[in-house]
A and B are shown apart, each in its own frame.
Chain A
Amino acid sequence: MKYPVFVQALALTIVVLIVGLYAGMSLEGSKLDNMNDYYIQSEVTLMDILAFNNLIDTEDVGCETLVKVNLDFMNRAYEEASVLEEYEESGRLKENLDTFHKKYDVLRTFLWINVLKTKEVCEDTEIHTIVYLYNYEEEDLTKKATQNVWSKVLLDVKEEKGDSLFLIPIARDSELGSLEALISEYDIGNYPAIIVNEEYVVTENVTKKNILSLLE
């Protein structure tokens, strides 16, 4: 060959890119492992809450404790979902983290069901729920922006109401049978949608003031 430098450059490029891609895949793989660890811990917490539910009829466990463990679980799931979101944004090479997202949606659906039970058992305790149903695979830029703004508004509401409010965001397009069954009775036509205290369905005019007024 007259100019072997062409092949040498090609070989060097392939080596550098393979090393780079391997490092990238390893990095993303380690993130998946992290998520798996988080998820296992969350599952354990959820099982613990379910066990608590079974103990509620006994004298040993009060509503205060039950609400607290549910809140702790909600906060934990929220923080882990935030980490998951960051990983999703930076993940490029490996299979994306859709499955984890679904798993967390299952956990949060469980949480919603559990909070509903807790509400029934602890009638005297002030418990509010806001379930935020959004589309995970949203391509429409206006709807994407709407979802982003609504989640900020709901965080504002959560900051105002503190521990009396359970804020549960769930991707409604996760194709979860339990979730579909839960929301079917609300007859929601448009998403994103917000279910306040299982009474009101909000699909427009979402402001902190409006949501707070529905919680009164």
Chain B
Amino acid sequence: MADFLTGVYLVYSFVGFYFMFLFILIYVQNRKKITSVPKMTKKYPISMVITCYKEGDSVGKAIDNLVNNGYDNLKKIVVVDDCSPDNSFDIIKKYEKKYPGLVMAVQTPKNTGCAAGAKNYGSKFVDTELIGFTDGDSYPEKGALQSVMGFFDDKKVGAVTSTVLVKNRNNLLLRIQAIEYIVIKFTRKLLEFIGSIYVTPGPLAIYRRSAFEKIGRFDERNLTEDIEITWRMLYNGYDVKMSVPSKVYSIAPDKFKPWFRQRVRWNKGGIQCIFKYAKTFGKKGMLGVFVLPFFVFSWLLGVFGLFILLYRIVKSLIVRFLLTTYSVDAHTAILRMEEISLNPSILTFIGLVLLVVSVTYSLIALFSIREKAHHKKPTILTFIIFEFFYLLMYPIILVKSAWELGRGRKTWN
């Protein structure tokens, strides 16, 4: 078994090093281009769709924020209420009166049960060249829309995504997510340089309307419509770009349970995408050559790694339990100094080097972001918890997602 495990560790080390080096090399080769965006040559007319479900507390602020975004060719803001049981629609109606001719309040005929349904419904009221989507609890920073415009001069560009950051950072879970979002946005930008952006997140994504309609809008059967539509963009030969200066601050889950549910939903959506696009494996440009294999192998390695880890933990606990019980029965010491060995193996060194490379990567990501002073900066402690504990949750979420999908649970919550 030891030889098998050594082989497993070496395979994991190889994969880990490969992706770390891939991202670091992409960064090194493109670091001067990361924050730059193409110059705006045309003020494309754009309409924004804000979806809202039970977000009466925040949707008003989201509308105000968008109206004051500073882009003067914003033609329409369609605010879609997905039949919220609270007073969301009444609030939206008030804002329609507050901003006549700009804000349009609409309500779906019945609750669609997913963000994709509300987004698609809202998109029917849009006739501008570009269409953007944001949530009722997301706040694009001033200038966020303007920064994406230059990308659309290239006719191949079908979608432009943005820098999504955590707005609320008043507990540990939120502060850890703030770090996670920064690392994710950094990675997403690096993926742009190899044509492999795999998601245009819901808090702020802009699409060329002709492309959006041509590919058939959002897939309402997928739990992560923002991942699925990006894959479909790639499948249909469109480029997807990212505007780093376009920042949008979003409300992240502040408690463990909703956080876990959200992550399970993200992963279930990802798995749905894997199955939907399985036939493109190795084909259809970077979707089949990199994005899909990257998802598949991440999932397989994550789940397999979790089982190996569990095997080792359970075995170690059993041995420790037996040793303690037998030692007590035999009236001898539970642990003797001679048993403590500090002789590390080569795998320990390889693991440590990989850890250093991984921490370096996360630090580069953290230092790549420039935020205004009032946003809380990550502390060293939060970073340590993120790097050494939080990331270990990922495989557990993967297993839970697969389990729920296997049992046929495909609902939003």
What is the interface of chain A, defined by CB distance below 8 A to chain B? 2-3, 5-6, 8-10, 12-13, 16-17, 20-21, 23-25, 27-28, 82, 86-87, 89-93, 141-142, 144-146, 148-150, 152-153, 155-156, 206-209
CB of A149 within 8 A of CB of B323, answer yes
Known: A17-B17, A93-B6, A145-B319. A152 touches B345 (CB 8 A): no
CB of B332 within 8 A of CB of A13, answer no
A187-B334 Cα distance, complex, nearest whole Å: 32
Interchain pairs with CB closer than 8 A, number: 107
**A12 is contacted by which of B21, B326, B336, B344 (Cβ under 8 Å)?**
B21
CB of A9 within 8 A of CB of B345, answer no
- Closest Cβ of chain B: how far from A165's Cβ, in Å? 16
A150-B331 Cα distance, complex, nearest whole Å: 11
Q: Which residues of B contact A89 (CB under 8 A)?
A: 341, 343, 345
Nearest chain-A residue to B24 (Cβ)? A9
Q: Which residues of A contact B319 (CB under 8 A)?
A: 141, 144-145
Q: Which residues of A contact B326 (CB under 8 A)?
A: 145-146, 148-149
Total interface residues on B, CB under 8 Å, equals: 40
- Closest Cβ of chain A: how far from B18's Cβ, in Å? 4
Q: Which residues of B contact A2 (CB under 8 A)?
A: 195
CB of A5 within 8 A of CB of B29, answer yes
Known: A27-B346, A28-B346, A87-B343. A9 touches B318 (CB 8 A): no
Type the 1/0 row for B6-42, where 1 means its CB is closer than 8 Å to any CB of A: 1000100110011101100110010000000000000
Q: Which residues of A contact B10 (CB under 8 A)?
A: 17
A6-B17 Cα distance, complex, nearest whole Å: 12
Known: A5-B22, A8-B25. A91 touches B331 (CB 8 A): no
**A206 is contacted by which of B315, B330, B344, B349 (Cβ under 8 Å)?**
B330
CB of A20 within 8 A of CB of B330, answer no
Q: Which residues of B contact A153 (CB under 8 A)?
A: 330, 332
Question: Shortest 5 CB-CB distances between A and B: which pairs?
Answer: A24-B346, A145-B322, A9-B22, A149-B326, A90-B343
CB of B26 within 8 A of CB of A5, answer yes
Q: Which residues of B contact A20 (CB under 8 A)?
A: 346, 349-350, 353
A209-B330 Cα distance, complex, nearest whole Å: 9
B residues 344-392 in Cβ contact with A at 8 Å: 344-347, 349-350, 353
Q: Which residues of A contact B315 (CB under 8 A)?
A: 141
